[in-house]
Amino acid sequence: MKLAFFGGLYSNYLALEAAIADASRRDVQQLFCLGDMGAFGPHPDRVVSLLRDEGVACVQGNYDDSIGNELADCQCGYTDPRDNRFAQISYDYTLEKTSPVHRRWLRGLPTSLNFELAGVRMHLCHGSPRRTNEFLWESTTSDRFLDRLIDPTNAEVVLGTHTGLHWTRTTPRGRRFVNVGVLGRPANDGRTNVWYTVLDLSGQEVGVEFVPVEYDFLRLSNEMRDEGLPDEFTATIESGWWTTCLEVLPSRERRCGRH
C-alpha cells in the first residue's frame, strides 16, 4: 500500500496538479495534505478546489487557521521587519482572494490525524505533534526530543511539514519522523522542482521516498506577476533559492541557500 503526502501548497495549484498526477501514476491509494494551502502564490481558491475535488484528507496548517478565522497575520512569528513585510503582503493577498466557502472549509480542518493503515500507526500534523506552528528543522531537532514529541501520539510514523524542507530520521526508539516537504516553493537548493513524499507500507519496513515534482513554474511566476505579487516571490520560483522568510532558518540550513 502506498500513500502520498503533500505539505505547504502556498497556492501553487500547478505543482499540486502535477503531484496528484504523479501519485496516480505510482498507484498511490490515498492522498494527504498537511496544511498551509495558501500564501505566496496566486489564486488561493484553486488549490482548495483541487484538494476537495480529489478527496485529499487534510490537516490544518497555521496559515489555514489564520485565513479560516480571518486573523491579522499568518502566525509564523517572524520578527525581522523585512520577513514580516513580505509575509504580510502575501497574507493580505491570500485572505482577500480566498472565498468565504473555502475559509469556512479551512477553519473546520483538523489539527492532526491519527490512524492505522496496513498495521502501521500514523500521526499527521502540520508543525509538530504538540504545536501547529512549531518548526522542526533537521539540524535543530535532537533525536531524543523527537522521541519525546512522538511519545504522546502512540504512533510509529509521524509526518509534518511547516519548515519547507523535507527530511526524515529514525529515532533512538525506532520511530520514524518524516517532514514531507512542500509543493509551494522549491527547497532552497537552486532547483525549480518542488517535493512531496510517498510512503510505502507494503514491506517489512516503512519505505519513505521524497519525490521531486517538475511543473510549469514559468506559468506560475507569470501569474504571480499578473496578480501583483512581489518580485522576490517570483525570483524564488524561478531560481530555486529562497529570498524571504529566512530569519527562522538555522545556520546549517541557511548555509545551503544563496541568500
- Return the C-alpha cell found at 187: 527547497
Q: Which of 131, 201, 227, 241 touches another protein (CB under 8 A)? A: 131
For the chain, the distance separating the N- and C-terminal CA atoms, rounded to the nearest angstrom, is 40
Q: Which is nearer to another protein, 14 or 249 (CB)?
A: 249
Q: Which of 2, 45, 50, 57 touches another protein (CB under 8 A)? A: 57
Handedness of CA 86, 89, 93, 98 (dihedral sign): positive
- Return the C-alpha cell found at 14: 500547478
Rg (CA), the chain: 17
Q: Which is nearer to another protein, 212 or 250 (CB)?
A: 250
255 lies in the binding site for another protein (CB under 8 A): yes
Q: Check: CB of residue 182 under 8 Å from CB of residue 199.
A: no
Cα three-residue angle 48-99-215, rounded to 5 degrees: 35
23 lies in the binding site for another protein (CB under 8 A): no
Q: CA–CA separation, 106 vs 243, rounded Å?
A: 27
Choose the stretch contacting another protein; rule: CB under 8 A; options: 4-12, 18-26, 129-137, 213-221: 129-137
161 lies in the binding site for another protein (CB under 8 A): no
**If DSSP codes are grouped into helix, strand and coil, which group holds residue 55?**
coil
Choose the stretch contacting another protein; rule: CB under 8 A; options: 143-151, 187-195, 198-206, 229-237: 143-151
* Least distance between another protein and beta carbon 187 (Å): 17
Alpha carbon separation from 251 to 92, 200, 248 (Å, rounded)? 29, 32, 9
Q: Which is nearer to another protein, 74 or 206 (CB)?
A: 74
114 lies in the binding site for another protein (CB under 8 A): yes
52 lies in the binding site for another protein (CB under 8 A): no
Q: CA–CA separation, 67 vs 254, rounded Å?
A: 28
Binding site for another protein (CB under 8 A): 57, 60, 62, 65-66, 68-69, 71, 75-77, 79-81, 107-115, 131-135, 137-145, 147-149, 169, 246-255, 259
